[in-house]
Amino acid sequence: MSTTLLTERDEWKALANHYEKIKNVRLQQLFAEDEKRGERLSAHAVGLYFDYSKNLITDETLRLLLNLANACKLRERIDAMFRGDKINVTEHRAVLHVALRAPRDTSIVVDGENVVPAVQEVLDRMASFSDRVRSGEWKGFTGKSIRNILNIGIGGSDLGPVMAYEALRHYSQRDLVFRFVSNVDGTDFVEATHDLSPDETLFIVSSKTFTTLETMTNAHSARDWALKSLQNEKAIARHFVAVSTNKAEVTKFGIDSANMFEFWDWVGGRYSMDSAIGLSTMIAIGPENFRAMLAGFHQMDEHFRNTPFDRNLPVLLGLLTVWYGDFFKAQTVAVLPYDQYLKRFPAYLQQLTMESNGKHVTLDGARVDYETGSIFWGEPGTNGQHSFYQLIHQGTKLVPCDFIGFCQSLNPLGSHHDLLMSNVFAQTEALAFGKSPEALKAEGTEEWLIPHRTFDGNRPSNTILAERLTPEMLGRLIALYEHSVFTQGVIWNIDSFDQWGVELGKVLAKKIIPELEAAKEPELEHDNSTNALIRFYRRSKRK
């Protein structure tokens, strides 16, 4: 572990000096000076075409960013992750989501044990269970086949499955209904079940710890809902399965451990959608497609591990995020998938990036004096164009964007796809090059309107193109961002794999629950704002 403060590194100072020199650089000029820039500043690997030429960078910027990556020992840190070192230092854990998609014959040793056979065994069990549900062979308590699958989970045990189900819906078995319940707000559960029949419904209770308040509350409500109609405790075994690391709690809940699909403490929640947490995904798309998705993840893992940094997609993507966040002080990154199936991808990335890199102390516990994790957000194109793109084009903030598009549609329909993709290219072009007052004048725009209609341009973006959204391609895309997040975390010298920031609120909520439920007015010892809010709630809920 390095103890040199990031901002004291020569490589950092060199970037800071360089930034001062090029901060006013114009993309227009960079492209004019280099007619091959678009091709030169792009990389093609594992089926992805990554164009990063429309960024506020020169060759020198890249050279300096790569120097920084080397100084921060990115290569060694990648090796340490793949080797199974306990790089999640605050939780004393290895970080081995890469083992979840490693081929059968790989060996990855954690605490003296090769974990790959256990991973494969769980995948095989998931496959045989999925096949039984998909074929109708798995019967509910009354002898009917399962038609509805409800995943109950939250955070990492929800966002990945939701995103993957939506992303791969094209490949899903259409006579099965999939729903996802996460919020402790009873509305989520009630709306998800209101038109379902318990005798045809399978609940997958997905929780690494099996103690999460939201998930356990929803799981108990699901149990009550099922038993109210099925009237027999034995029904639980046919209608509930669990995905967890906590066998004791699963059994306590009443789920047979034969119906439990295991994963391990070296899989972080937000890195778990390719573990047994992906059971709903596998039931939806089938074991073969799920394996194809894992193969896609693995291809990107290998690319990340073995490709020189100057052609390494996750490294380049990660370094660009550092460049904008730390030097241009951009606060956010917009992720704009031009594919309706990826509508939940930005939400998924929000957790992946912000829970991983929203940290303010280094691995050594020192407070950082630089910016860390950016705010990730986005919506699918072209919808975003008719809402928030205005600010990206003409607002006062710099918002670097990732555009993601596919060359082939899964639903060819007239000229829809060309229209969709024309917008990807048009938007990145407009952002980069804008529209000048001179051009507006030449078009005859009235003088007073010219400032309003001028686009300064020089707004940076990446474009990621792939042939087609397949399970394999989805795996590659997710791994691209996972490893970009890792790259950023290494530069910032933070623990990208813990999430202590979610703890305090949970602890306080536990204290407040009895205060809301108490029949007698409780003695409140919070600050006077919180006390007043609780009193208002108690008064109003009784009305």
For the annotated catalytic residues, the residue numbers are: 355, 386, 506
Take residue 473 and report the two structure tokens written for it: 């391609």
CB of 389 to ligand G6Q, least distance (A): 30
Give CA angle at 464 (460, 465), nearest 5°.
140
Q: Which amino acid is at 95?
A: V
Closer residue to ligand G6Q (CB): 212 or 374 = 212
Handedness of CA 515, 520, 523, 529 (dihedral sign): positive
Least Cα distance to 502 among 306, 329, 268, 177 occurs for 268
Cis peptide, bond prior to residue 58, ω within 30 of zero: no
Rounded Cα distance between 14 and 24, Å, is 17
Q: Which amino acid is at 14?
A: A
Helices then strands, counting H and E runs in the chain, come out as 23, 13
Least Cα distance to 242 among 146, 151, 147, 181 occurs for 151
CB of 95 to ligand G6Q, least distance (A): 11
At 145, phi and psi to the nearest 5? Answer: -70, 160
Rounded Cα distance between 92 and 171, Å, is 39
Under 8 Å between Cβ of 53 and 465: no
Contacts of 197 (CB under 8 A, 6+ apart): 148, 229
Alpha carbons within 13 angstroms on the beta-carbon side of residue 168 total 31
In terms of phi and psi (left: phi > 0; alpha: psi -120 to 50; beta: otherwise), the region of 328 is: alpha
Contacts with ligand G6Q by CB under 6 A lie at 154-157, 207-209, 212, 215, 268-270, 355, 499
CB of 60 to ligand G6Q, least distance (A): 37
